[in-house]
Amino acid sequence: MRVVVIGGGVIGASAAYHLARMGVRDLVVVDAARGPGEGSTGKATGGFRAQFATAINVRLSLLARDKLSRMRDEIGADPGYEPRGYLWLAAGEQELARLRAARAVQHAEGLTEAVEVTPEEIARLNPAIDRAGLVGGAFCPTDGFIRPLAILRGYLAAAARLGTRFEWGAEVIGLDRAGDRITAVRTAALSLAADVVVNAGGAWAARVAALAGVDLPVAPLRRQILPTVEQSALPPEMPMTIFGDGFHLRVRDRCALLLWPDPAPDGFDVSVDPGWMDAVAAMALARVPVLRGVPIDRAGAWAGLYEMSPDRHAILGAAPGCANLYLVNGCSGHGVMHAPALGQLVAEMICGAPPSLDVSALRPSRFAEGAANPSADL
Ligand SMILES: Cc1cc2nc3c(=O)[nH]c(=O)nc-3n(C[C@H](O)[C@H](O)[C@H](O)COP(=O)(O)OP(=O)(O)OC[C@H]3O[C@@H](n4cnc5c(N)ncnc54)[C@H](O)[C@@H]3O)c2cc1C
């Protein structure tokens, strides 16, 4: 079986490794970038959580967490998984109710270590934040942090050891079709005959799908990050801390990373907005008073693209109307944490192996069927 994976970010790398491990030997990963990490994977901060609001997302996280825990043995790479916890804060009863509803789903899926926390417990878990107005929150100690580039490089190296070929600097510009199948993947310099094609094009996945005449509802969404300089006001073991309006912060390599999902412009623009930096810095100083003496590193700010699907859940499976184009798209900002699971699941589909999870909730046809997942923020 000749398989071409389009995109060598963390999703394509995981798909390639798992395909190779399941015995696919004629396997090529094609990527427009000059080398690994130039897409969204290189922009990610490396949060990992299983605290989601739908069963399928909790299940993906639990499968991924299991694989992250075993990654050193499986592929000889350290994914940097550090269970520092995710702490969600509620400023009112409505936010608390939202967290409770999500936790009921989490407990039903076996994530019983996720708990409700009182303002006093919040003070113990993160003494640095201003607790004025907080009524409670949610905490899961096994959520935490991972290293996106270590995971990417680990899967790429493992796939290469199993014989996968990589073509960097090779933008896919054409997908030849015969009937409901793709027959070849074309770049400016190559024409690769294919029995199966995997779309792992991240935020650009809709453009890739369009080359085969497939309409894929994945859109880019800019996300910006403002770091402080290296600091000691917040300890390295601080949990990811998330306010009800989406402002959140964590510590990575001694710098505090400040994030706030503002309404972003449409398109592929990844410039950092100075007005956004002013706003997020003001939020941080008001809510995390110990940061008042810590310089903000405006020059170190960066932005990247989420790959949004209409219901904020991944799209996984053969494309409607194009039977040998497999979609692993639309992770909606959770692609690094879910890559270990999604790569395995798509490889199982392609190789006809028994699925590790029931992923029917992620089927590409769900939007046309009016069966999208609930798209809660959590
Ligand atoms: C600021 C920010 C913070 C984030 N934080 C987190 C986090 O904490 N945790 C988490 O899990 N996720 C996070 N994410 C999301 C995560 O980065 C993505 O979900 C993930 O990287 C998607 O992986 P990917 O392989 O699909 O995409 P990418 O890494 O973007 O890879 C796609 C690849 O496809 C290639 N490509 C596209 N079109 C073509 C073409 N026509 N021909 C050839 N190649 C093509 C691109 O060059 C690219 O290398 C964050 C994202 C951003 C922007």
Task: Report residue 136's pLDDT band, with 50, 70 and 90 as the boundaries.
Answer: very high
- Does 377 have pLDDT greater than 90? no
Which protein residue's CA is at the shortest distance from atom 16 of ligand 1?
335
- Does 364 sit in the ligand 1 pocket, CB within 6 Å? no
* Residue 264, pLDDT score: 78
Measured between alpha carbons, how far is 353 from 226 in angstroms, rounded to an integer?
43
User: How far apart, in Å, are the Cα atoms of 283 and each of 155, 249, 287, 291, 334?
Assistant: 37, 11, 6, 11, 24
Rounded to the nearest whole angstrom, what is the distance from the C-alpha of residue 58 to the centroid of ligand 1?
A: 21
Is the Cβ–Cβ distance between 331 and 310 less than 8 Å? no
Cα separation, 117 vs 135, in Å, equals 9
Q: How many A from CA of 330 to the centre of ligand 1?
A: 10
> Tens digit of pLDDT for each residue in 150-165?
999 999 999 999 999 9
Element (H, E) at 200: none
Res. 337: pLDDT tops 80: yes
Q: 45: Cβ below 6 Å to ligand 1?
A: yes
pLDDT over 80 (residue 376): no
Find the Cα–Cα–Cα–Cα dihedral 367, 369, 371, 377, rounded to 10°.
10
Cβ of residue 305 lying under 6 Å from some atom of ligand 1: yes
Residue whose CB lies within 8 A of the most ligand 1 atoms, among 5, 14, 40, for a mutation test: 40
Q: Against a cut of 0.95, is the pTM above it?
A: yes
Asked if residues 322 and 291 have their Cβ atoms less than 8 Å apart, the reply is no
**Ligand 1 atom nearest to CA at 332:** 19
Determine the pLDDT at residue 24. Answer: 98
Instruction: Report CA(334)–ligand 1 centroid distance (Å).
Output: 10
pLDDT tens-digit profile of 164-185? Answer: 999 999 999 999 999 999 999 9
309 lines ligand 1 (CB under 6 A): no
Q: How far is 158 from 267, CA to CA, in rounded Å?
A: 34
Largest CA-CA distance found in the chain, in angstroms, rounded: 64
Q: Whose CA is nearest to atom 8 of ligand 1?
A: 47
**3 DSSP β-pair partners:** 27, 196
Tell which atom from ligand 1 comes closest to the C-alpha of 223. 1
Residue minimizing CA distance to atom 44 of ligand 1: 31
**Does the pLDDT value for residue 317 go beyond 90?**
yes
Residue closest by Cα to atom 51 of ligand 1: 44
pLDDT tens digits for 241-285? 999 999 999 999 999 999 999 887 889 999 999 999 999 999 999
pLDDT at 51: 98
Residue 38: name the closest of 201, 193, 180 by CA.
201
pLDDT tops 90 at residue 218: yes
Mutate to test the pocket of ligand 1, among 34, 41, 240 (most ligand atoms within 8 A of CB): 41
What is the spatial distance between Cα 77 and Cα 157, in angstroms, rounded to a whole number? 9
Identify the pLDDT of residue 375.
Answer: 81
CA distance linking residue 61 with residue 52, whole number of Å: 9
Phi first, then psi: give them for residue 47, nearest 5 degrees: -85, 145
For the CA atoms of 52, 221, 329, 256, the dihedral, rounded to the nearest 10 degrees, stands at: -50
Q: What's the pLDDT at 265?
A: 80
Strand partners, 85: none
3-state secondary structure of 199: strand
Among 10, 4, 1, residue whose Cα is nearest residue 337: 10
Residue 35 confidence class, pLDDT cut points 50, 70, 90? very high
* Closest CA to ligand 1's atom 50: 44
From the CB of 335, is ligand 1 less than 6 Å away? yes
Cα 87 to middle of ligand 1, angstroms? 25
Please, which residues have CB within 8 angstroms of residue 25's CB and are 6 or more apart in sequence?
163
Q: Where are the beta strands (DSSP E) in the chain?
A: 2-6, 26-31, 47-48, 86-90, 115-117, 136-140, 144-145, 165-168, 174-178, 181-186, 191-193, 196-199, 219-230, 240-242, 248-252, 255-259, 302-308, 315-319, 322-329
* CB of 242 sitting under 6 A from ligand 1: no
Structure tokens at 333: 């900002």
The length of the chain is 378
Task: Categorize the per-residue pLDDT at 228 as very low, low, confident or very high, splitting at 50, 70 and 90.
Answer: very high
Q: What was the pLDDT predicted at 207?
A: 98
Between β-strands 165-168 and 136-140, what pairing exists: parallel, antiparallel or unpaired? unpaired
Confidence at residue 141, expressed as pLDDT on a 0 to 100 scale: 98
Q: Is 167 in the pocket of ligand 1 (CB under 6 A)?
A: no
